[in-house]
Every structure is written in structure tokens, then in C-alpha cells.
Amino acid sequence: MSSLAELRPDALAALHGELTREYEALKDRKLSLDMTRGKPAPEQLDLAEGMLALPGNRDHLSEAGEDTRNYGGLQGLAEVRNLFAPVLGAPAAQVIVGNNSSLALMHDVHVYALLRGVPGGTKPWSKEEEIAILCPVPGYDRHFALSESFGIKLIPVPLTGEGPDMDEVERLAADPKVKAIWCVPQYSNPSGETYSDAVVERLARMKTGAADFRILWDNAYALHHLGETRPHLANILEACAAAGHPDRPIVFASTSKVTIAGAGLAFIAASPANVRWYLDNASRRTIGPDKLNQLRHVRFLRDLDGIHAHMEKHRALIAPKFAAVEEAFERRLASHGFARWTRPAGGYFIILDVMEGTGSRVVALAKAAGLALTPAGSTHPYGKDPEDRTLRIAPTYPSLAEVKLAADAVALCTLLAACEKRMAG
């Protein structure tokens, strides 16, 4: 089939007629499918079912003899910090184990920075007239919504396939109003890209207008490979320390997509000064984290090999779903020339770039056919994609059979919207 751009009006009208008939047939099937969020499927959660019986049998003492049923232990059990230290790229002394949500830790870092300021700063961020955060796009909507909700201005920066456009980041970060940057450095949500060594190095070294600039390094997909290859991600804590900016990065991660989403463990890793700062603030917020859950996690995962073996089981469940989406896009869209999509080596998302100006239409067409997609624009600050073309596809939650159906339906809606646009213009 020739590319859409080359079709003559009569061929275009014929294709449109054919796609419309297919679309009407799709609607008649009254599907109810959801590809909106990157949630683990029930089978993935089942993988950690055995953890729910742990620690059990009066097993509640930590290695240091702490009774994990009681208050205290703000920084987290030493054995849990030791277990995850290599994942976070920090010594265990610089790791904090929080409760069930890394997003909640990112929220708290915002609140403490705004109300009390951060090490290296002269005043709370909220006392500045205006502050801004750099947002690599396409990015994670909950990051953007969190910063926006506190009145922080969101400044988009394009991603390049190996991290943000660093010329742009360096230019923007020279402004003292710019206090931070969001980063999902490995298998980025949603582009799937991993930051190159050169990008990490420039982030570490760059001159910033704000002395208390922070890199919010959300390594949510540190362990989440889809294939055999393992990406190399440079250590941001070491790079920043070597560049004389040890307090610049704050690393986040969680086991939401390792064990149980909603009842996992969340982590911070940072410089000694940032760790003291965070714990000092957190000590006013809580008497201590859920250490029983921490114990449960070490008993279940045991060691680094245990973590990787567990992640292999996830991979076996979700890699075929990603392959099914790619197959449908390849089969339906490749020959038409206008759409692009990612083939991620890890993470939870695929990006589908549809014909410019048709993103919202594709989502509306899918919705009317019983398929919920993340709203067009949600990958951009303030929900505004100026090109209205980037869609985030989340294939993990539905069953494989549903993913096949849904991916085919997305491709059909993408084609139909593109035909409509060409016929109108």
C-alpha cells in the first residue's frame, strides 16, 4: 500500500470508506478496554503473592535485633538499604526506605523545599517570587501535575532519544528562577529512552543560576527490562559529587512494579546533606515507616539475584504484550508512512506519534469504540501537546488477547483520523 501522503483523492476516499466500515464494526463489538495507565496486570501481582504471608511465624526481628512491629527506624532497616543500595547507586548509609509510594516522597521533597528550603539554598522556595522546573517531554503526567499543583512553572524541554536536549537545559537552568529538573533516566516514562553518559555528565557539571538546583532523578524503571539487553546508565550521584555538586541530585525508586503496586517500598538516595535534610523534615511527619513490609520484602526477594529473577518473571508476562502492540502498528501503520512509534527495551510504555493535529481525534475515536487511552497532551506540561500527536500506550494491564485487540483498534483509529485530516485539508 502506498503512503497516505501519496494517495490520490479517489484512493483516499476509498480507503476512508473502508476504514469507516471497519470502525463501525469495531464499535458494534462494544469493547471495554483500558490502556490508560501503566499498571501491572493481576498476573504480575500474583508473582508476589507469596510475600503476603511473610514475615509470619513470629519472624519480626531485623538483623540488628529491632522489633519491626514497633515505632522508629526512620531511615529504614539496614538490610533493606543494603539490598537496594546497588539498584539506587548509593552506599546504604545514603539510602532512605520510605513507605509505599515514591511519588509521595517526591511530593514531600517538594513540600520541604517549598516550606523550609534545601541544603545550599538561602530561603524556602516558596519565598521566591516565581520558580520553575524543567520538564523533559514527552514526560510523566503525575510529575508535571505535582509541580504545577504547588504553583511551580513548568518549562518543557525536548527529549532527544538519549535524554533531554542539554543545550536547552543548560540555557534554561542558567536562570535562577529554575530550581529543578524532572528526569526519568532509564526507560523513560513514556519515551522509553535511557540517558547517555554525555547527558548525565552535562547535568552534573552544568552551571545553574540557582545554587540550590535539584535534579529529581526518578529511576522508576531501573529493573524493568523487556529484552536481553541491559542499558548503561551513569551514576548521577557519583557524577554530581565528582563535579562538585554533591547535593544536586535526589534519586527516587520503588518496588511498585517489582512486588506490589500500592504496597511496595519506596526509596530515596542522595548526598549525606540531603539525607540529613530529608530525615530531619520527615521526623516531624512520622514516627517511622512500615518496617514489617520492609522485612517482608527482604525475606521474599533475598538478594540482588532474587530481585533480577523476579523481574524475569515480569518480563515473561509483559514482553509479549509489547510485541503485540508493535506487531499491530507495523502491520497496520508502517506502509502509510506518517506514524512513528517506539520499540522500548524496557519500562512500561510505548509512544505512538500519530499524524500531527489528530492526537485528540484518535483518542476520541478510540473512546467511542470502547477503548480508553490516556488523553492526548497528557505527556506534556499543562496537558498541552502543541503538535497534538503524541499518544502514550500502556500495554501491561490488559490481558494479551485484549492488548492485541486494543492495539489493532488504536491503529485503526490512527489511520481513520489521518484520512479524515487529509481529506479535510
Contact 279, 98 (CB under 8 A): no
For position 99 contacting ligand PMP by CB under 6 A, the verdict is no
Extract long-range pairs of 327-331: CB within 8 Å, 24+ residues apart. 327/407, 328/404, 328/407, 328/408, 328/410, 328/411, 329/407, 329/411, 331/411
Among 220, 237, 345, 416, binds ligand PMP (CB under 6 A): 220
Minimum separation from the CB atom of position 315 to ligand PMP (A): 17
Under rule CB under 6 A, which residues in 182-201 are in contact with ligand PMP? 184, 189
Q: Which three cell numbers stand for residue 39?
A: 499498571
The three-point CA angle 105-180-390 to 5° equals 85
Decide whether 140 or 338 has the Cβ nearer to ligand PMP: 140
Applying the rule CB under 6 A, the residues between 24 and 63 that interact with ligand PMP are 38
Q: Are 189 and 224 in contact (CB under 8 A)?
A: no
Decide: is 218 part of the binding site for ligand PMP (CB under 6 A): yes
**What residues contact residue 354 under an 8 Å CB cut-off, 6+ apart?**
338, 339, 362, 389, 391, 414, 417, 418
Show the DSSP H helices in 141-186 as ranges.
Answer: 141-149, 166-173
Tally: H helices and E strands in the chain: 13, 12
Q: Which of 36, 82, 101, 281 binds ligand PMP (CB under 6 A)?
A: 101
Q: Which is nearer to ligand PMP, 55 or 98 (CB)?
A: 98
Question: In whole angstroms, how close is the CB of 378 to ligand PMP at the nearest point?
Answer: 12
Q: Binding to ligand PMP (CB under 6 A): which residues in 119-178?
A: 140
378 binds ligand PMP (CB under 6 A): no
Give the rounded distance of the alpha carbon of 44 from its chain centre. Answer: 18
Of 33 and 220, nearer to ligand PMP (C-beta) is 220
For ligand PMP, which is the closer residue by CB, 200 or 328? 200
Only one of the segments 97-105, 192-200, 294-302, 338-346 lies at the binding site for ligand PMP (rule: CB under 6 A); that segment is 97-105
Residues at the contact surface with ligand PMP, assessed by CB under 6 A: 38, 101-103, 140, 184, 189, 218, 220, 254, 256, 261, 266
